[in-house]
A = this chain, B = another copy of it.
């Protein structure tokens, strides 16, 4: 009977997981690459919102959208307070993978199914959340949904953001029937939450090296994004002698190599992933190259040092487009989860998460990560094994059962 009862939650979790993912699988998928394009308030993401709302209602949960555009599905009444929140996001980067975000939402729904079958009667309200726009793939600011919810992103700044087609955040809200004036910090939701747990696929190789299916994040590394505007003089590629040139592409090349050297020296990461060249003609020396540097380290001072070294190497002052301070996740909560999960690996997160925004807003927060056997993220090659995902659903249910007592 012991073997039977141990096997059964896994089978139930597997059934929930398979059914939920089968519906998610085709939405926003590029058939040529297998990558996903799911941008906030675009058609694919609206379909995902309908899907989440439908699944939540089918489970008898009360669905409600907060003032940041994030969807909450409540088991119990959040007005009772000290609620447990769990979930993740449904949006993706361009050509993103299938698990970055949706795995946490699917696991939350699957965990509710397990808790129900175990006959758990929550003593605290449980809120399942699908955050809007964790990746910032459309408007450029990551975690805009949770940042608006917590007030970290003001209404004025949010409404002024624009996508590549020049559509503003406000216009995108309006087109989907939302009132741009109603967005902002949502004290009702924030005040209700006593605990937050996000489950997320790992975005590196940490759990591969630990040979473990699950882990806990201890902190989110500090993170800066910088834009360098490299100015030169447009000129003819054939008729302008080398000594007469002022070619900003050379500075861009030096920037890329200087950033790599600095990251290696500091044991950190630095990436130039976005470059825009003007006029970008084959036979034209560019007039301007804009290059973005994304850099992260364990310590904030290290991030600052890397940027300073790059700046000194090329002699150009960057614009700081985004700064995210280091977020230490809640140690007491981590210990409590560890008690349930039984001594699993602890790792820092190199990527940002909505959970980090919630923690910064003062909600005691933990993160569970699920092994990614390719170690690759933000790519169609991102992956998670079904067995590990099912283990994640079961263990998330265990954690929630403990927290809801």
Listed in ascending order, the chain A residues whose CB lies under 8 Å from chain B are: 93-95, 137, 140, 142, 202-205, 221, 223, 225, 233-242, 244, 247, 249-250, 252-257, 260, 263-264, 269, 271-277, 279-287, 292, 294, 296, 321, 349-352, 375-381
Copies of this chain, whole number: 2
Residues of B within 8 A of A236 (CB): 203-204, 350-351, 376-378
Residues of B within 8 A of A282 (CB): 140, 225, 273-274, 292, 294, 321
User: A235–B379 contact, CB under 8 A?
Assistant: yes
Residues of B within 8 A of A142 (CB): 283
Decide yes or no: A375 and B240 within 8 Å by CB, A253-B257, A282-B294, A285-B273 being known contacts. yes
User: B256–A378 contact, CB under 8 A?
Assistant: no
Nearest chain B CB to A274's CB is how many angstroms away?
5
Listed from nearest, the 6 A-B pairs whose CB atoms lie closest are A203-B239, A234-B379, A236-B377, A237-B271, A253-B256, A239-B350
Complex Cα spacing A70 to B377, Å: 52
User: A273–B263 contact, CB under 8 A?
Assistant: no
The residue from B237, B274, B350 contacting A281, defined by CB atoms under 8 A apart: B274
User: B239–A204 contact, CB under 8 A?
Assistant: yes
12 further A-B pairs in the complex, CB-CB below 8 A; given A237-B269, A240-B376? A93-B284, A137-B281, A203-B240, A234-B379, A234-B380, A235-B376, A239-B351, A239-B377, A241-B269, A242-B264, A253-B255, A253-B256
User: A294–B379 contact, CB under 8 A?
Assistant: no
User: B249–A256 contact, CB under 8 A?
Assistant: yes
Name the residue of chain B whose CB is nearest to the CB of A277: B275
